[in-house]
Amino acid sequence: MASIAAPEILEVLRKVEARGALDVTKRLRQSMGAVFRYAIATSRATRDPVADLRGALKPNPKPVHMASLKTNEIGDFLGRLNSYDGERQTALSIEFIMHT
């Protein structure tokens, strides 16, 4: 554990990042950091090289949210929701969200 350096970890993470799996890259970095923190706690390592990689990876893209309904579109939406022939639980969940 002590012989693993930040550039080696970055090389592995960059391979995952190159696939476009940014969320996986983030979780993998977090897991590696947890392993090194455990290694430090159990005297198997003296430091966490993963901590040196903060800011070295691409951030996850900001989510793009749908635009909210305009006031004059709500009636049409509710009519379509009432005639929705999918799972009733889905329609009720959407209606519940509208009330919150």
Does residue 60 fall inside a structural domain? Answer: no
Nearest to 21 by CA among 50, 29, 54: 29
Question: What is the reported pLDDT for 2?
Answer: 82
Three-class secondary structure of residue 100 per DSSP: coil
Q: What is the phi-psi region of residue 20: left when phi exceeds 0, alpha when psi lies from -120 to 50, beta otherwise? A: left
Q: What percent of the chain has pLDDT over 90?
A: 90
**Are 39 and 74 found together in one domain?**
no
Question: What is the reported pLDDT for 100?
Answer: 85
**Are 47 and 69 found together in one domain?**
no
Domain count, the chain: 2
**Are 49 and 10 found together in one domain?**
yes
State the pLDDT confidence band at 38, using cuts at 50, 70 and 90.
Answer: very high
- What rounded mean pLDDT belongs to the chain? 94
**Are 48 and 71 found together in one domain?**
no
pLDDT in tens, 58-94: 998 999 999 999 999 999 999 999 999 999 999 999 9
Domain extent, residue 31, equals 6-53
**Are 10 and 45 found together in one domain?**
yes
Model confidence at 6: pLDDT above 90 = yes
Does residue 1 fall inside a structural domain? Answer: no
